[in-house]
Structure 1
Amino acid sequence: MATKASITGAAAAAGGGAPLLNPYVTDAPLTPANFQKLRQRWKATVTGKYMRVTSDDVYFALSKLSGTAEQYIANMQPSRIHIWEDLSPIHLSVNFRKSYERLRTIAQSYSIPGSIHYHDLNVQETVIQSLDFIGSEIYNASVVQAKGENWWNFRIGAPLALVDIAILLYDDLTPRRRHEIGATIVKNIGSIGQRSLKGANRADICLALIGAGVITNEEAEVSRGRWCLSDKEYDGENSIFQLVRSGEGLYEGGSYLSHEIFPYSGGYGVQHYYSLSKAVNVLSKSPYYINSTELEVTFAAINSTFSPVMWRGMMMAHIRGRDISRKSEPDAFWGNLFLQSLLYFADTELVPRKNRRFFKSLARSIWEAAPLPDLYGLNITQAFGMQKVLEERIPPAAPPLGTFATPMSDRLMHHRPEWAAALAMSSSRIGRYEALNHENLKPWYQGDGFLYVYTDKDPLHFSNDYWPTMDPYHTPGVTNGQNPQGPPAYKFTAHRDWAGGLDWRGTHGLAGLDALSTDKGSSAKKSWFFLLNSIIALGAGCAGLSGTEVHTTYESRNLPSAGSNFSINGEYQIMNPGWIKPWEETHQRVDWAYLDSFGGYVFLDKEPVTFKHEKRKGKWTDINQYPDYLGFSDAITREYLTIYRNHGIDPKDGRYAYALLPSSSPDDTRKFATKPPINVTHNTQRLQAIQFNNTVMANFWSSGTIGYLTAVTPCSITWGHSGVEDKYLTISVSDPTQKATRIVLFLNDPDIGGVVEKDDSIQLRWGRAGETGSVTITVNVEGAHGKTHRVSFERISWRGTLDNLPWRPPSNEITTSTTTTASGHVRPAATKKPLANNTTVTSTKIGSKPSPAKPKASVVGNASLGAAKPGPAKTKSKPVATKSGSGTAVKPGHATVKSSLGTIKSSPRTIKPGPSTVKSSLATVESSLASAKSSPTSLKPTGAVESSPGAVDSTVATSTEPEPTIEASN
């Protein structure tokens, strides 16, 4: 047993009446009354706190529980090898574990007033005889796990079910039976000191161990279970109350990983919270309580890790791993389990009052938003908990809104009032998919840019037998060859580093993926731009080596049983439900399409698009052969609409550009297609970017320039106007490769003034002492794990004059030296030009009131895209000459940029040189600028941008060697 330590009065006083950390044990051991209280609280977590039934959810849950228990009882066929014939032979771990779970359901029905089995002695005797049979023949303190058996059944699944049964029937069991049950659980759990025991598995095992002690009145087991949660044996190294840096558990930035490399906040993460919340609730009235100080990380993750991956009360599929292949555990099942965790926390007096109220508010939000009666109803514990919340009239919490990037798990979520999207990517850090224990058998492209879109038009789309009937070779958002794939492997990551993105002002999002398929048979550079009413998808370098066609799937929609109207360019197609003959056709030029159960599709590049309407058949056992789910072998038929681009057989540089408009109307879709409110400025293997209003979003796959901004190193970046009346210019940048040490940017914009705010990771080097407009931005991204970095500048045209700025670069700040052109003349300042097709404003002098210019015909202002007011005021002024240290008059421009490069290279103490790729990029940019210097007439203005979509900017600094489009197989 752990060393005892008492709670002193001084310690209590220091914590304001409670100790900051709970001791291992109190001097006074647990009394029989303590154990009785623990059993009462545990029983309440299984049956719910009984109260007057006023809720339809309670009636539904109680009826469902009683009906299921009655079915289990009626189907019992006891023999020497099984209790239920479909769970035979019972000596297999999956079968005795499932037998315990059925007995728990029967014991619940026996224990809850209002059930048809409440205190039925025949039911009681049936359960006890079944426990004796399994305990004497199959699962006991002498059992040895057979080779090839799933350890989880022995150490977690069976113990957790057995604890619940024993506590529900505690007064009906003899002391000998209780002791045998406790000894069986403790023996099969085994050692809990492994460093590998983390996250959900640690929480589950600790909970089972606490339960064993509660059953047998053994304080030692309660103590071991409690302190294993904190991992006292290894000084908290694997404590589930802390963020982790490897293995399973909560990570910084909203990620939850399981099995080291799989995003799993909607599966293992929820299980982690369920078992922890139950332990917190049960122990709260004992000396082994879990202090709220220890739960700070746990509570913070509710907003950062779990709420963003929920939609309408359901856990999104992109963070559920192999659980998506389980018919009995749909997305709402995991949503309900998370709701139950919130209710357990909210019912714990040690949790601060403000937290408890928030948890109830969030639980109500989940309950109100979910289509639960149609999908997966609340169980009895959840139903009683929600009845109490409703009686307290606690209002629902606001649902998540905006963009949520979790770079540690290569995931991005985007929430709008009527729809939501989730993007699943993979990299050299994160696995493509999880296929384990013969589950999830067709997962090949689930981590290659799978874009899940949820809409109010069809909220049960992914729950309507989607997974056994979907086409795994046409996964929405993915570019892949059509060659057959072999059996899935387990636990491997993707081939390339780039996977990630950022959020812009919390409302917009940008993501990019350097995709190379598992078999290296297809590849592409892919970008997604998440806006307020649309998602823009760009692809370049779509290539293949498999000898088959390479397709990019825009959509593969599971149509509702009632059917859904579909139109192309406003012309409706025949898609009546129950039709027999499928159709597939390619349209050479199509502008837009519309599906009633989804919304709109706009094809931005006017390239050929293929539409396919078909019936698809499947069975759940096609994707899950684990014994738990072999009963789900009924044939299923669903209708699908698939939209894709055929790049041809083994293409070299295929491209695509399209927009999704979820929950939009046909008229809105047509207007978007006629006058797109966004401009695709670049779509190449080196740079993919869009511009709308006064905002630019770009993935720089290599160094390049857009407008006034040059990226020396690859990065994801978004910049544009922000703040009230667009008074600031804000830049957000990230390193999706998570391999760089620094990102270097050059901004030469006459409209930028002083810094409003910046992250500590950002360093600025101004081009001229005491003045603004030219700045080198260096972002330290080493160890940042792909997170977003931000800096905001005040716009001079908004303020009026430079003198009115609240802050100016101090004259003693490190600045760059300047040089003149080869001819000795000062190069005139670059005329400020807008991005292609952008709305601009001009003024005659500094400080004059901006007046908007008329927008070009090809651009439509759209408030729902985040439209800002007309752009910044232009200032026309003569070039201002300054004197360098040598007395030579200069004007900042490309020469200044070159000088900035020289300073970076010559000042290693100021800026540590980056990796070789950064050095190469710097040298290339310097060479380009030197060439421009010798031929000033051929140099483009700094702000110039190619106006045609897809054109490569002439100022992009790149290697002359062609970039390989695909890797060869080993």
Structure 2
Amino acid sequence: MLAGAAGASAAALPPTGAAAAPAPARAADAFDTLRATWRSLILGGGFDPAAAPYATRLAELGSTARRLRTEMAPADGSLWPGLGYADPEPDTDPESYAHSENLQTSYSRLRTMAEAYAQPGTGSTGDAALRTAVLTGLDHLHDQAYRAGQARWGNWYNWQIGVPQALLDIDVLLYEHLGAARIAAHTAAIDHFVPDSAVAGYTGTSTGANRVDLCRVLALRGVIGKTPAKTALARDALAPVFPYVTSGDGLYADGSFIQHGHVPYAGSYGAVLLGGLALLFALLEGSAWEVTDAGRQTVSDSVEKAYAPFLFNGLAMDAVSGRAVSRGVLRNDVRGLHQDDHTRGHGIIAAIALLATTAPAAERSRWEAMVRGWIARDYYSPVLTGSALTVAQLARLRTLAAAGGERAPEPAGHRLFAGMDRAVHRRPGWAACLSMASERIAYYETGNGEHLRGWHTGSGMLYWWGGDFANGQYTDDFWPTVDPYRLPGTTASRKALADAAGGAWGAARPAVEWVGGATDGVYAAVGQHLKGLSSTLTARTSWFFLDDAIVCLGAGIQAADGAGVESVVENRNLGANGVHAFTVDGSTQSTAPGWSATLTGARWAHLAGHAGYVFPGGATVKALRQERTGAWSAINKNADPTALTRRYLTMFFDHGADPAAASYAYLLLPGATAAATAARAADTGWLTVLANTGDRQGVRVPSLGLTAANLWTAGAVGPLAASAPASVLVRETGASAAVCVCGPLRDGAAIDVTWNRAVASVASHDPSVQVLSTGAALRLRIASGARGAVHRAVVRLG
């Protein structure tokens, strides 16, 4: 059902297709200044449009705009063929969602045309015919859909964020050609769909990144309509975004970022929040509406606490990008851009660079050094030619890089994010990220037809990348081609699951509490009480993050679904034609696609160009090579249906159907040579597995002075004991040792920890740690709290 195409408001607009007369000359006011600032922010400046890479990008922009103008065919219910936006009857999903998406796409196309008109070097700069086409399209969409009094349908986001953001950008770019009637009509439409009440409460769809997006709409609505109250409201409505949260959406003190209540989202919604705030801070700086709230320091702190930890060589780790990982190439993307971990990373880097322009000198210096480092290291998808960056973002980053200065290296160390069940481990030459789920954090998020098969991504998926290799592992069409039942690091049932199993918007969460771990900032013990999605599978899985290895243990693996259960050691994307050598105990295996084998008594394996794998005491492991074909449209209804094929090398423990008490143990050595892997396997004294049962798991690595354990129930592992479930890590360094404890149940109960090792005294301890005794053994009482925090004491050894 369409709105009337000849409504009263349409009559007030300039004749369709005609350019409105510019307003009479007058002195610029504060809103003219803000409008000019926004124009500069979205178009960029200080670049030579005839120089690379701008010339190519601008020419592509112009070509795309001219094609869109040619294809534009205003009709009842659409502006472009195939992009119908009529209100479906009845207003049901998915048709209504598709139509609201099409409406947003139509405005986005007009924005592309407007940018081609405004940017230099597009071949259509200042083209009156292109400008007329944009104005014609604006009038058509206003009269038929996006107007005051019109009921909305489909996805709320399109009406309150997607469409108005595109419309307001167009209004800035073509302001002098709009005329008073169009401006009034556009601002009235935005006031209708985005009333002040949209930010009256910090709840529902008005939290986190969504709140920032709404404030952007309100701020620019105030600028275009010259309405001080709207811009002031936008500034003030940012206030609830700044404080740390302890549940729900927003930034957490430990660096976690959550959206949709239960989904880790620093790489997607979090990136929107950061980028939106960077733009608003820059827009309003120095004006009467400058953001002076002291709470904005939380945002500044988040750069190094919440975003940088998930950036590696320019990519943003997929473990915190939610359903965005399934987008690949979207059908309605006029440029056909490939969305992936690198493009998401580049967007965050650009946001940090912009935020730095309004930051104090010390923060600006640190952030710009980090940005230059990421730019220098992203060999797989060079940032400064990044096709997904806007010309404005590209200009800012190239200017920053050209200015020279420090390039911050990738840091080394471990970060636990208890607020979102994630862990990041960094060592010289590689990095890893672990994704888990609990009653607090979803297995995965699906919604709007996206990420339909991300079922097991929260079941202990272990991502890793090399410093100068394998940075395209998840970039190169991994998600549509990987076996979704065999994600690396996971233990999962082969029970068939329907697309979007478990429910939308993070509804699928396991009824478990023990998820988390302990770290001293260098090494870590992390554990997950695993319950399978829509299956009876349960298990206890642990990861011990060390210098050059990750020790992976699993035990108590059981299920009763009549389906097989597997623990996946590796599932490596070898690209379209990869033939990487695979060696087991010194014997090279076949490189033929379709090869498979059961490796009985295997002690070590090596995949050339990637990693080594060690199986303490030997193990029976299955391995196979596959050519897997899939399409982005199979995991995202909005994506491209083109068939893609990638080769994989997979290793897994096959626990069989309905295992009763299965287990596994292996070491992952990223970047190790075959010789180093064989040597580690031969050095049986390097690692001692102290326990690997459904009650407790632990390891001892003498060369690192490390003893660590995850106790699923009260008990003892080697020299460590706890009176309640706990994760404990002890690292001896010379005459001292650090003892780190976490109560992953987060029930606030006290935990008594004993280390049966002679301790002369306690040098320091957190306020949450009480020293019960020293001497022949150390006894501590931990006030564990409810946030999954790590509690630390430093002792002098006896």
Contact 1:339-1:382 within 8 A present in 2 as well: no
CA distance in 1: counterparts of 2:51 and 2:766, whole angstroms: 50
- The Cα shift of 1:286 comes to 0.6
Number of aligned positions between the proteins: 736
Taking the TM superposition and a 5 Å limit, the aligned residue runs for 1:13-24 are none
Residue number in structure 1 paired with 2:796 = 794
Alignment-derived partner of residue 622 in structure 1: 634
Question: Aligned with 1:622: secondary structure?
Answer: helix
Partner residue, 2:169? 164
TM-score by length of 1: 0.74
**1:371-386 equivalent positions in 2, closer than 5 A:** 371-373=380-382, 376-386=387-397
Answer yes or no: is 1:220 the counterpart of 2:229.
yes
Judged with a 3 Å threshold, the aligned counterparts in structure 2 of structure 1 residues 54 and 666 are, in CA distance, closer, same or farther, namely farther
The CA distance in 2 between the partners of 1:86 and 1:365, in whole Å, is 44
Aligned equivalents of 2:423 and 2:50: distance in 1? 40
Among 518, 528, 542, the alignment partner of 1:513 is 528
Which amino acid in 1 is paired with 2:753? L
CA distance in structure 1 between the aligned counterparts of 2:86 and 2:350, rounded to whole angstroms: 31
Equivalent of 1:638 in 641, 646, 651: 646
Which residue identity lines up with residue 395 of structure 2 in the other structure? Answer: F
Residue of structure 1 in register with 2:285 after alignment: 284
Write the distance in 2 (CA, Å) between the matches of 1:746 and 1:277: 48
Asked whether the 8 Å contact 2:516–2:528 carries over to 1, the reply is yes
Measure the CA separation in 2 of the matches of 1:306 and 1:266. Answer: 8
Change over 3 Å in CA distance of 1:538–1:81 after alignment to 2 = same
Q: How does 1:345-744 map to 2 (within 5 A)?
A: 345-348=355-358, 351-370=359-378, 371-373=380-382, 376-455=387-466, 456-487=468-499, 488=501, 489-490=503-504, 491-504=507-520, 506-563=521-578, 564-575=580-591, 582-625=594-637, 629-630=638-639, 632-676=640-684, 677-693=686-702, 694-722=705-733, 726-744=734-752
Q: Sequence identity of aligned pairs in percent?
A: 29
**What code does the residue aligned with 1:790 have?**
R
1:38 and 1:208 map into 2 onto residues whose CA distance is 14
Distance 1:707 1:603 in 2: 21
AA at the equivalent of 1:176: A
**CA 1:333 to 1:143, structure 2 compared with 1: closer, same or farther past 3 Å?**
farther
Following the alignment from structure 2 to structure 1, what is the Cα–Cα distance between the partners of residues 431 and 386? 19
Structure 1 residues 705-735: Cα deviation after superposition (integer angstroms, max 9, x where no partner)? 345432121101110213xxx2311101111
Q: 1:575 to 1:77 in 2, by over 3 A?
A: farther
780, 789, 794: which one pairs with 1:777? 780
Asked if 1 retains the 8 angstrom alpha-carbon contact of 2:697 and 2:717, the reply is no
Q: Which position in structure 2 is the counterpart of 1:342?
A: 352
Which residue of 2 is the match for residue 62 of structure 1? Answer: 58
Q: Hey, what does 2:159 align to over in structure 1?
A: 154
Taking structure 1 as reference, are residues 53 and 376 closer, same or farther at Cα in structure 2, changes over 3 Å only?
A: closer
Task: Tell me the amino acid that sits aligned with residue 193 of structure 1.
Answer: A
Q: CA deviation at 1:701?
A: 1.3
Rg larger in structure: 1
User: Would you say the 8 A contact 1:544–1:651 is kept in 2?
Assistant: yes
Name 2:266's counterpart in structure 1: 265
Is the CA contact 1:479–1:523 (under 8 Å) kept in the aligned structure 2? no
Question: Following TM superposition, by how much is the alpha carbon of 1:484 offset from its aligned partner in structure 2, in angstroms?
Answer: 0.8
1:308 matches 2:309? yes
Post-superposition CA distance 1:260-300 (Å, at most 9, x none): 11111111111011111111000002111012733211111
C-alpha offsets along residues 245-272 of structure 1, whole Å, 9 cap, x if unaligned?
Answer: 2321101201001111111111111101
* C-alpha displacement of 1:305: 0.7
Distance in structure 2 (CA, Å) of the matches to 1:416 and 1:276: 32
- Tell me if structure 2 keeps the 8 A contact 1:605–1:658: no
Matched, 1:137 2:144: yes
Counterpart residue type for residue 794 of structure 1: R
Take 1:695 and 1:753, find their aligned partners in 2: how far apart are those partners?
A: 19
2:745 is the counterpart of 1:745: no
CA distance in 1 between partners of 2:135 and 2:347 (Å): 28
Give the whole-Å Cα distance in 2 for the aligned partners of 1:460 and 1:321.
19
Instruction: Please tell me whether the aligned partners of residues 61 and 379 of structure 1 are also in contact (alpha carbons under 8 angstroms).
Output: no
Deviations 1:627-686 (A, max 9, x none): xx24x0111111111111111221111110011111111111111111142221211112
**CA deviation after TM superposition for structure 1 residue 86, in Å:** 3.0
What is the CA-CA distance between 1:403 and the residue it aligns to?
Answer: 0.9
Give, as a single letter, the amino acid of the residue that structure 2 aligns with 1:495.
A
The change in CA–CA distance for 1:173 and 1:641 in structure 2 (over 3 A counts) is same
Cα RMSD for the two superposed structures: 1.9
> Once the two structures are superposed, what CA deviation does each residue of 1:120-154 show, in whole Å capped at 9, x if it has no partner?
111111111111110111111121113xx110001
CA-CA distance at 1:409 after TM superposition: 0.4
**Match for 2:221: what amino acid?**
A
Report the counterpart of residue 926 of structure 1 in structure 2.
none
Give the whole-Å Cα distance in 2 for the aligned partners of 1:594 and 1:675. Answer: 16
Letter in 1 for 2:381: L
Q: Matches of 1:636 and 1:440 in 2, distance apart?
A: 17
1:323 corresponds to:
324
Task: Give me the whole-angstrom Cα distance separating, in 1, the residues matched to 2:74 and 2:139.
Answer: 12
Matches within 5 A, 1:814-829: none
SS in 1 for 2:237: helix
Between the aligned partners of 2:286 and 2:322, the Cα distance in structure 1 is: 36
8 Å contact from structure 1 (residues 65, 380) kept in 2: no
Name 1:79's counterpart in structure 2.
Answer: 75
2:76 corresponds to which letter in structure 1?
A: R
> Is 1:95–2:102 an aligned residue pair?
yes
Report the Cα distance in structure 2 between the residues aligned to 1:708 and 1:568, rounded to whole angstroms. Answer: 35
Distance apart, 1:54 and its partner CA: 8.9
The one-letter code matched in structure 1 to 2:588 is Y
The residue that corresponds to 1:891 in the other structure is none
The Cα shift of 1:376 comes to 4.4
CA distance in 2, matches of 1:163, 1:333: 25
Offset of residue 390 of structure 1: 2.3
C-alpha deviation, 1:200, in angstroms: 0.5
SS at match of 1:253: coil
Alpha-carbon distance in 1 for matches of 2:425, 2:540: 21
**Superposed CA offset, 1:5-26 (max 9, x none):** xxxxxxxxxxxxxxxxxxxxxx
- The AA in structure 2 aligned to 1:139 is Y
Where does residue 181 of structure 1 map in the other structure? 186
Give the gaps of 5 or more residues in structure 2.
1-26, 88-98, 330-338
* Structure 2 contact 577–647 (Cα < 8 Å) conserved: no
8 Å CA contact 2:727–2:742 kept in 1: the answer is yes
- Distance verdict in 2 for CA 1:71–1:757, change over 3 Å: farther
Q: Tell me what 2:42 maps to.
A: 46
Determine if contact 1:372/1:378 at 8 Å carries over to the other structure: no
Q: Is the 8 A contact 2:603 2:619 kept in 1?
A: no
Residue 534 of structure 2 aligns to a residue whose secondary structure is: coil
Whole-angstrom CA distance in 2 between matches of 1:90 and 1:122: 27
**Which residue identity does 1:228 align to in structure 2?**
A
Q: d(CA) in 2 for partners of 1:602 and 1:748?
A: 30
2:95 equivalent in structure 1: none
Structure 1, residues 17-63: CA drift from partner, whole Å, max 9, x if none?
xxxxxxxxxxxxxx952111101111111101233469744345434
CA offset at residue 82 of structure 1?
1.9
More strand by share: 2
CA contact (8 A) 1:536 1:658 kept: yes
Structure 1 pair 397–705 and aligned structure 2 pair: CA distance change class (3 A)? same
Say which SS state the counterpart of residue 435 (structure 1) adopts. coil
Shift of 1:420: 1.3
* Alpha-carbon distance, 1:572 to partner: 2.0
Gaps of 5+ in 1: 1-30, 231-238, 797-970
Q: CA deviation at 1:357?
A: 2.4
Match of 2:763 among 756, 760, 771: 756
Q: Contact 2:612 / 2:674 at 8 angstroms: preserved in 1?
A: yes
* Aligned position for 1:961: none
